[in-house]
Amino acid sequence: MTSQQMSTDTSTLHAALSAFVYHEAMLLDTRRYDEWLSLYAEDGLYWMPLSPDQPLGDEAPSLLYEDLLLLRLRMQRYGNPRAHSLHPAVRGLRILQAPQIAQAEPGSTVHQTRTPFLYVETQGDAQRTLAATAHHTIEGEPGAFKLRMKKVVLLNADASLPAIQLLL
Amino acid sequence: MKDGSFQQGFGHLVGPDQVHRDLYIDPDVYRAEQARLWTRAWVYVGHESQTPAVGDYTTTDIAGQSMIMLRSSGNEVTVLMNRCAHKGSQLVHEHAGNCGKVLRCPYHAWTYRLDGSLLSIPLKNDYEGTNLSACPSGKGLASPGAYVNYKGFVFARISQDGPDFESYFGEALATLDNMVARAPDGELSVLGSPLRNRIGCNWKLYLENVNDTVHPISTHESAASAAKHVAEALPEGGDTVLAMEQLLPFGAGYSFYSEMGARVLPHGHSILGTKFSIHTGYAPLPDYQAELEARHGKEGAQQILAFSPQNTVLYPSLAAKASPMILRVLRPLAVNETLIETWAFAPKNAPARLRQRAASYARLVFSPMSVVAHDDVHLFESQQRGLACDGNEWLSLHRGYQESELQAGASSMESGNNEWVIRNQHRGWLNLMGDAA
């Protein structure tokens, strides 16, 4: 393999990872939750720690620490007309910086990206903005990527927070 | 005191079976609460495991007053006002940290020993012949009127005068005793950081809901039915899924709560679920149970584990669950805004499952992202807005009311659905608001 080939492979991979991260956010923006869930690996995890350096695990509180079962539960509730807190309707929008490739080698099976973003959630006349960094752990080949973990670190994870109703 | 408008007291706001909306929406009532109730009551400050090493501190605001809980020596925790004796700067500015061997004010470098006594002042000679040492500023850091470290749980009373700790809480301390008894080594520890919620409602609406057994079936219908739906897809005979064990009981019907029993205590305290609760059915942990039996005997261990109330209210600042081991701490911020901090606990050296239980429940039910809490918070904030409507100025608390309860003192009741547990909070409120409290 020439160095030019390798660099082409690397940039193709990086572009595919970026596209995956943007696509994932778009599916949440547009509430295409079934497609969003299908991005996840079977043992995938969505995690929002209470501090940037919190160790991974379920033996201390997190803002959110959900496997596919709990994510499905969350989506299932969205569809219930008696999910009172969703009236009036809640809408969310994610404004992403270009994803940074933290770790991605052609031929490797696990890749990592880091994406600072703003999340805006609106309901009735109230609108709130949160700042966060998303760390995606993505496995597999371009075209067949699966999300192993989405870790979202809120800039103010240690602050007292209002109800955040949708996923970031 | 800015409560001159309440020269007749507050009795007109608390009826035997209903309460007036001004309890929740009147800024003057809120200001009077800050000056009276929150300074006279014993208020939860923190747990000693938050400050394990000498010099470790945490800060918390009670009634708008910043306090430092500080590990002043190996076995002593001190509570000090976070206010330099000189000109009022706060001494520390973090939620938690370590101050080293002394507290040093960043403004003019006055320093204090960890017990709050004054250690040194710059330009000391310039104070010779002045009155400083006879003034409050010369006497070191102020403390709340009283504080107590009860088996690791630290409480303070801002006011110099008031009931002593044990007679204030009385039987309500049994739930804290039970938490400690659940530790085979006799020691508890907080798990990580607290979940911190800012809710747009008066603190009393939140605290009433802690004792409200009738709301889950309608308020939490969407979360309970979603849990049921995903649980049906689980393979039969698989391992117990912790989240399902904790969420499915939210679908329990009215009769479940009508049989769980409750007990009201003086000063607004209560125990809901004296017989059982939604927490009773958690899977047994045989190895852990054996450790408890080694310490307390078979019968003793069984009694400890059988006591699993829905919630114990240590009025006005604390709601406790013995299993999963969780404390919710109430900090009023404004007449229509409340901070709730949820701390998960576990015995030191406990099996991982106990830490997971507390952490999971805290996250699933008390996180700002919890689908259970979302419906609660939505409705508390909705109440806060709805109460502004004219035409009816009262909130009904009539369920199960009988005139005899007015003279009853500490009492047990069969039905957890009896709103006596909530009426009792308001009688505690009135007592702490009164001139003689």
- Strands A146-154 and A40-48, by their bridges, are parallel
Report residue B188's pLDDT band, with 50, 70 and 90 as the boundaries.
Answer: very high
Q: How many CB atoms lie within 10 A of CB B180?
A: 18
Chain A residues in contact with B369 by the CB 8 A cut-off are: 48, 63-64, 163-164
Rounded to the nearest 5°, which phi and psi values hold at B19? -130, 155
Q: Do A65 and B363 touch (CB under 8 A)?
A: yes
Chain B residues in contact with A51 by the CB 8 A cut-off are: 193
Given this model, what pLDDT does residue A53 score?
A: 96
Within 13 A of A159's CA, how many CA atoms are on the CB side?
Answer: 10
Which secondary structure element, helix H or strand E, spans residue B119, and what is its range? Answer: strand B118-120
Percent of chain B with pLDDT over 70: 98
Q: Pick the residue with more confidence: B283 or B425?
A: B425
Cis peptide before B324 (omega within 30 of 0): yes
Q: Do B230 and A72 touch (CB under 8 A)?
A: yes
> Can you give the pLDDT of all 168 residues of chain A as single tens digits?
567 776 778 999 999 999 999 999 999 999 999 999 999 999 999 999 999 999 999 999 999 999 999 999 999 999 999 999 999 999 999 999 999 999 878 888 899 999 999 999 999 999 999 999 999 999 999 999 999 999 999 999 999 999 999 999
Q: Do B243 and A69 touch (CB under 8 A)?
A: yes
d(CA B299, CA B222): 40
Residue A152: partners with Cβ closer than 8 Å, 6 or more residues away: A46, A47, A48, A64, A132, A133, A134, A135, A168
Asked whether B422 and B211 are in contact (CB, 8 A), the reply is yes
Q: Is the pLDDT of residue B3 over 60?
A: no
pLDDT tens by residue, B361-374:
999 999 999 999 99
- Of B122, B133, B123, B140, the closest CA to residue B84 belongs to B140
Cα nearest neighbour of A80 on chain B: B222
Of B200, B226, B356, the CB nearest to A58: B356
Surface of B (60-99) touching A: CB under 8 A: 95
- Of B102, B142, B368, the closest CA to residue A162 belongs to B368
Cα nearest neighbour of B344 on chain A: A61
Residue with the two structure tokens 């003192």: B409
